[in-house]
Amino acid sequence: MTTKQHIPLSGKLHEWITTVDHKKLGIMYILCGIFYLLIAGCEALMMRWQLAIPNNDILAPETFNAFFTMHGTTMIFLVGMPILLGAANYFVPLMIGARDMAFPRLNAFGFWLFFFGALLLYFSFLGGQGLTGEEGAPDNGWFAYAPLTSKTFSPGSATDYWIIALFVSGMGSIMTAINLVTTILTMRCKGMTMMKMPIFAWMMLVDAGLILIALPTLAAIQIMLLLDRQYGAHFFDAQAGADPVIWQHLFWFFGHPEVYILILPAFAFISEVTPVFSRKVLFGYPLMVVATVSIGFIALGVWAHHMFTTGLSPAVLSYFAGATFLIGVPTGMKIFNWIATLWGGQIRYETPMLFAIGFIAMFTIGGLTGIMLAVVPMDWQLSDTYFVVGHFHFVLFGGLLFAIFSGFYYWFPKVTGKLLNETIGKWQFWLLFVGFVLTFGPMHFSGFEGMPRRIYTFMPNRGLEMYNMLSSIGAGVQAIGFVLFVYNIIHSLLKGKPAGDDPWDAWTLEWSTTSPPPPWNYAKTPVVASRRPLWDLKHPGDPDWEYE
Amino acid sequence: MLDPVSPVSTTIRDLFMLVFGVIGIIFVVTEGALVWSMIRFRSKGNETTEPPQIYGSNPIELAWTVIPILIVLVLFLVTTRTIYSLDLQEPPEGALRVKATGHQWWWEFEYEDLGITTAGELHVPKGVPVFVELRSFDVIHSFWVPRLAGKIDAIPNRENHLWFQADKVGTWYGQCAEFCGTQHAKMLIRVISEDEDDFDSWVANQQLDAVEIPEALSGKDTFLSLACVNCHNIDGVMLQGGFAPNLTHLMSRETIASGAAENTPENLKKWLRDPNSIKDGCLMPNMMLSEEQIDLLVGYLTTLK
Amino acid sequence: MSKRSQTNPIPKMLPPGHVGMMSVITTEIFFFASLIVVYLAYIGKSISGPTPEEILSLDLVSINTIALLTSSATVVLALKALQRNNIARFLKWMLATALLGAWFLVGTAIEWAGLIGNDHFTLQTNLFGTTFYTLVGFHAFHVTFGVCVLSFIWFCGLMGWIQEKHHQNIEYVSWYWHFVDTVWVAVFLVVYVIGR
């Protein structure tokens, strides 16, 4: 029995600030992500309060515009990316039997770039007044279209904050991606060929590949915009003959892969949770791999479906519609694979599974509304309306966020050694589910009725009142769910039941080590023969490798 | 969008019905399978062995790859056909041509063939195709009147267009649909479609120079003496503006400030006292007018029928 | 499904450094691709100001190009020498590489001094100016970074700190250097050949 050494707080702080351990970095990423999730949630609450009734005056137009910009920017770059890359950081080495990532110091550097980039973005609320006293936080939408973001139309510093903060944290994401690709391709344990690694690792590999391709494009156009704004360049200056649509082409060349960068880790979480809680192997692993890689490739070729209203030629429109429809095929394959995994199983409805099923149900809807938007003439009506806001919240909230909660409840015991409280978890799920549907379901209808997005108020007597009121009520319901989530974390850290190594009776390598894992992960590098090493150990008479 | 009054929006609505049908079937099948498996395969809590482990099934996986590909093919063909059928590069025979220019945060409409310039409200004759050339004065805007057509962006340095045909008499609401700054929310559009006679008389009135009434002379002088003339044009009176809405026939409009408020004398006074009270952040500065000047000006403006 | 037998093959994997450097190069490819795409899109679109035909001359740039491409050859020779543990020869070729890179930079600086000083052609002049200085400038920035790293390695060699076992890592640096040269070939073609 070792006696616990008393380490002073300053020592612990020093340990965490200087760490290069993938697990500690993963935890820090996720904690930051949760912190910004709460902030972005408050921004959303304020917007829904403003939009509960027409011609409301809770928020001034500029404030509302800053809130929707910051809400979107925060959710994507400061919540989605860190939580997903943090989870990848923590679990990829464990799942492939490695001791750490390939480049631990690069890992730490990437985290701190993200950390300070995020602070810079939020500093804009205080410091963005600039010399002209204009603007504070970025307020031109998270996609910052030119020419609205040129110096002429955005004279303050708000857009400069957007550029620099995201450039810096984007560098951090690229570094993590380099680490992930290298680790997955070069540090697998004995027996773990590419087709024997957990599906989680495949999804993260494709994800990291997309980051390597998409983020540099964003960096390039951010530099161009900064040069325009501060050094008199003309990249997006219509007066000098430039084409503002070029911003859109390049931004969406980044932006569309970005949404797949966000959702692939969600697919990873669901693909790990669903089998364990239906007590069945993941159905169709080889085609899941093919589907994942296909999604990665096709994702690079659909960007202009965000630009159907910019006056593109019919041939170009048709191509992008077709490519977008096509990406529905591998995505559908995955959904069917998950349902087939459930089929014939013994489904346990603990919280991770509730969120996973919620994911499958909601993401399917979001995917289908996406197909509707790909029908170009329909997009001419529905683009830039609340229908789109409904669509992307179904895939990003009902999809990504539910998957994050699923993964969180699943892996929290491994990371902390304590189980999260099931009762609170179920309350959280139902409150979030009901609130989510209440908020984002009606948006599809207000889009049909003519409500564009990014408006700080809407006109009365256009048939929009009921939908907006329902959305705002839903936001209140969700808020309680989020509060319960935070409460559950704190409560369980203090008083949670000890989890043990393998509370869910799962099958991948991370469950073979202690909860939390020792700093070196594995005293002896594991040797595997199948995709579910622990199934083989638990069922020596009927191991997986006889069937794979 | 589901209550179209134009062949364009009707085509889109019909396409929607077909697509919704296809999507609906996929939805029912997928969510149905999900819900069924959730209920049927729920653990009873007392199982002692794991269920049969199914690793995959080539025929099933082939089926759910091929069938979606076929659905995608159908959707692609239908979509492409509709895109081409709605595509119109040149105005059709007998079409009315209008140039719509987006400004921060109002719409300017010029009927160049007819010599008319107006703002915020677009009058069109019923049953005649209208070809709208879309331009932007500053940032990207988007022209959208859902019951008439889909939206197309107005982009600086680019010549976009859309077309529609109002098959009924009425007033159709729309608004800018591409975030363009502070008052994007109140950059509204009204399209008023009228019988041919009514439209012709509207045109005839719009083509006249501004009404001159002796009683409003001091108001007109006030207007000419202030900086209003640097932005606002009044045909036959002063034409050195162009940056702001043309006021020649202001009183022929139902609303002011591109739809932000009803066109009443009270609202006109409110606007002149401080434009930000109606459209916070708009580009018209507060001219710091006295109440007397405001009364005179409104007295003049209300004569501009 | 017929039952398979247990296998635990050691998966065939590349060294981490290989994958790491290839990942870095991938990101750089897409960064430069974005700049090149914008350059191509704006060829001939400047409303006013000088055109490439008017002010770009091939003389100086061709010499710079030869220098840079030669440096790719010299770095290969340096690595070959290191592999045979011939430190002296390694240092000679490393220095040559760094100097050739520096020559490229000096040549670029001279070209720009002429464009800015004589022709008053800057980033602000027109679309051509904006895209030209950004694309060529960011490439030059990457060359500068490369020259610094190469010089540092040469200096370490001079101090006696480099041995044959460092060959692999220095090879990764050479890959970066070859990449920078390849980008220059693309930039040269786009700016000085296609664009003129």
- Any chain A CB within 8 A of the CB of B254? no
Q: What is the pLDDT at residue A126?
A: 80
**Chain B residues closer than 8 Å to A242 by CB:** 157
Query: What domain range includes position A390?
Result: 32-546
Q: Which of A92, A105, A212, A218 to mutate to test the interface with C (most CBs of C within 10 A)?
A: A212
Helix%, strand%, coil% for chain A, nearest 5: 70, 0, 30
Q: What is the pLDDT at residue C4?
A: 80
Residues B192, B98: contact at Cβ < 8 Å? no
Residue A5 resides in a domain? no
Say what percent of chain B tops pLDDT 90.
Answer: 90
CA distance A329 to A324: 10
* Residue B131 clears pLDDT 90, i.e. is over it: yes
Residue A107 resides in a domain? yes
Residue A307 resides in a domain? yes
Structure tokens at A289: 């791999």
Residues B294, B143: contact at Cβ < 8 Å? no
pLDDT digits (tens, 9 = 90+) for A252-262: 999 999 999 99
CA distance A36 to A187: 32
Structure tokens at C162: 């480099």
pLDDT digits (tens, 9 = 90+) for C58-78: 999 999 999 999 999 999 999
Query: C31 and A220 in contact by Cβ < 8 A?
Result: yes
DSSP string spanning A337-384? HHHHHHTTS-B---HHHHHHHHHHHHHHHHHHHHHHHHSHHHHHHHTT
- The chains found to touch B (3+ Cβ pairs under 8 angstroms) are A
- Any chain A CB within 8 A of the CB of B175? yes
Q: How close C148 gets to chain A, by Cα (Å)?
A: 20
Residue A537 DSSP symbol = H
**Chain A residues closer than 8 Å to B182 by CB:** 61-62, 65
Query: A372 and B20 in contact by Cβ < 8 A?
Result: yes
Residue B238 DSSP symbol = B
Query: A223 and C134 in contact by Cβ < 8 A?
Result: yes
Residues A257, A210: contact at Cβ < 8 Å? yes
Among the partner-chain residues A212, A240, A253, the one whose CB lies closest to the CB of C127 is: A240
Say what percent of chain A tops pLDDT 90.
Answer: 93
DSSP string spanning B105-145? TEEEEEETTTTEEEESEEEEETTS-EEEEEEESSS-EEE--
pLDDT digits (tens, 9 = 90+) for C163-177: 889 999 999 999 999
Query: B30 and A378 in contact by Cβ < 8 A?
Result: no
Tell me the CATH number at A64.
1.20.210.10
Residues A166, A117: contact at Cβ < 8 Å? yes
B171 three-state secondary structure:
strand
Contacts for A273 with CB less than 8 Å, ≥ 6 apart: A352, A353, A356, A406, A407, A410
pLDDT digits (tens, 9 = 90+) for B185-233: 999 999 999 999 999 999 999 999 998 888 889 999 999 999 999 999 9
- Any chain C CB within 8 A of the CB of A233? yes
pLDDT digits (tens, 9 = 90+) for A167-220: 999 999 999 999 999 999 999 999 999 999 999 999 999 999 999 999 999 999
CA distance B40 to A342: 10
Residues B240, B294: contact at Cβ < 8 Å? no
- Region C138-160: what's the mean pLDDT? 96
- Region A287-316: what's the mean pLDDT? 97
CA nearest to C14 within chain A: A186
Residue A310 resides in a domain? yes
Indicate whether this complex's ipTM tops 0.90: yes
* Residue A127 clears pLDDT 80, i.e. is over it: no
A20-52 burial string, b = 16+ CB within 10 Å, else e?
Answer: bbbbbbbbbbbebbbebbebbbebbbbbbebbb
- Strands B130-136 and B96-103 come out as parallel
Q: What is the pLDDT at residue A129?
A: 60
- Any chain B CB within 8 A of the CB of A376? yes
Residue A110 resides in a domain? yes
**A134 confidence band (pLDDT: 50, 70, 90):** low
**A425 confidence band (pLDDT: 50, 70, 90):** very high
Structure tokens at C152: 């540092």
Half-sphere exposure of A23 (CA within 13 A, CB side): 20
Among the partner-chain residues A185, A214, A215, the one whose CB lies closest to the CB of C19 is: A185
Find residues 159-198 of chain A whose CB sits inside 8 Å of chain C. 174, 177-178, 181-183, 185-188, 190-194
Q: What angle in degrees, to the nearest 10, is found between the helix axes of A351-374 and A314-342? A: 160
User: Cα angle at C82 between C79 and C86, to 5 degrees?
Assistant: 135
- Any chain A CB within 8 A of the CB of B41? yes
Which of A401, A466, A402, A471 is CA-nearest to residue A440?
Answer: A471
Residue A1 resides in a domain? no
Q: Which of A154, A380, A391 to mutate to test the interface with B (most CBs of B within 10 A)?
A: A380
Phi/psi for A347 (5° steps) reads -75, 125
Half-sphere exposure of A214 (CA within 13 A, CB side): 28
Query: A238 and B53 in contact by Cβ < 8 A?
Result: no
The better pLDDT of the pair A299, A546 is held by A299
- Any chain C CB within 8 A of the CB of A546? yes
**Chain A residues closer than 8 Å to C23 by CB:** 177-178, 181-182, 212
**Chain A residues closer than 8 Å to C46 by CB:** 240-241
* Mean of per-residue pLDDT scores for chain C: 94
- Taken in order of first residue, the domains within chain B and their CATH numbers are 96-207 (2.60.40.420), 214-301 (2.60.40.420)
Residues A84, A511: contact at Cβ < 8 Å? no
- Taken in order of first residue, the domains within chain C and their CATH numbers are 57-194 (1.20.120.80)
- Any chain B CB within 8 A of the CB of A378? yes
Query: A383 and B83 in contact by Cβ < 8 A?
Result: no
Contacts for A469 with CB less than 8 Å, ≥ 6 apart: A52, A53
Which of B265, B273, B266 is CA-nearest to residue B294?
Answer: B273
Q: What is the pLDDT at residue A372?
A: 97
Say what percent of chain C tops pLDDT 70.
Answer: 99
Query: A242 and C42 in contact by Cβ < 8 A?
Result: yes
- Residue that has been written with the tokens 């929290």 in this structure: A412
Query: A250 and C11 in contact by Cβ < 8 A?
Result: no
Residue A210 resides in a domain? yes
Using alpha carbons only, how large is chain C's radius of gyration in Å? Answer: 21
- Structural domains counted in chain A: 1
- Any chain C CB within 8 A of the CB of A206? no
Among the partner-chain residues C3, C14, C31, the one whose CB lies closest to the CB of A216 is: C31
Query: A346 and B9 in contact by Cβ < 8 A?
Result: no
- Residue that has been written with the tokens 């004589």 in this structure: C118
Q: How close C67 gets to chain A, by Cα (Å)?
A: 27
